[in-house]
Amino acid sequence: MLKTKRPLSLAFPLEGEGVGGGECRHALTHSLLSLLLVALTLILVSCDADSESNAIGKLDTPPDSVLTEPPRVGHLAPDFLLQTLDGREIHLSDYRGHVVFLNFWATWCGPCKIEMPAIEKLYREFRPKGFAVVAVSSDAEGAAVTRPYRDSLGLSFTIAHDPEMFVGRLYGVHSLPMTFLVNREGVITHQIFGARDWDDNEARIGIRQLVQSR
């Protein structure tokens, strides 16, 4: 099955618990270094969605569609309406009965570009079995940047535009890429933070199981 991100747990020694002053400082320094390494690793596989001021406008008040809490695994995926690169309007609910690979990304996001070719391969392999990819771009420039991006990578799946990040905020997206897998009943089965190798065996087995389940 696919792995989702686990929360990071940190524990620091407390005074009076049998740790000397020097040992305490050493333990604290070691923990801080470990935390720094974890942070650097996460930077390599994801982009801060809020760091691109042109991609996400700051909202004084949230839109009416924003939930008080982001959707979670095991819950129905919130519906939305977006316009695609080809000028169509789509709802997520249009894909009910399909397994949906819902990916949040942007053209300026390096890790997003790394995983795109593998996502395309998944789409071409599993599309005949009811597998759909909806790639939601947060680029403010819209088709002006997503069209050449799509053409340069040879992508054939659906690209939708969310320049104000209304849908991204609805789904609690704070870093890119972020992927939600939605089953045929519209329920979120997986939430994946950051880029991953969708060519690897574990990922393909997970997608195949979702597609085969009826």
Query: 109-153: per-residue pLDDT in tens?
Result: 999 999 999 999 999 999 999 999 999 999 999 999 999 999 999
- Of 64 and 195, the structure prediction assigns the larger pLDDT to 195
CA distance 196 to 149: 20
Token pair recorded at residue 88: 């169509």
Cβ(69)–Cβ(193) below 8 Å: no
Query: 29-81: per-residue pLDDT in tens?
Result: 444 445 445 444 444 456 876 555 333 333 333 334 444 577 899 999 999 99
Please tell me the predicted confidence (pLDDT) of residue 43: 46
CA distance 86 to 146: 11
Burial 188-205 (b: 16+ CB within 10 A, else e): bbbbbbbbbebeeeebbe
* Whole-prediction pTM: 0.73
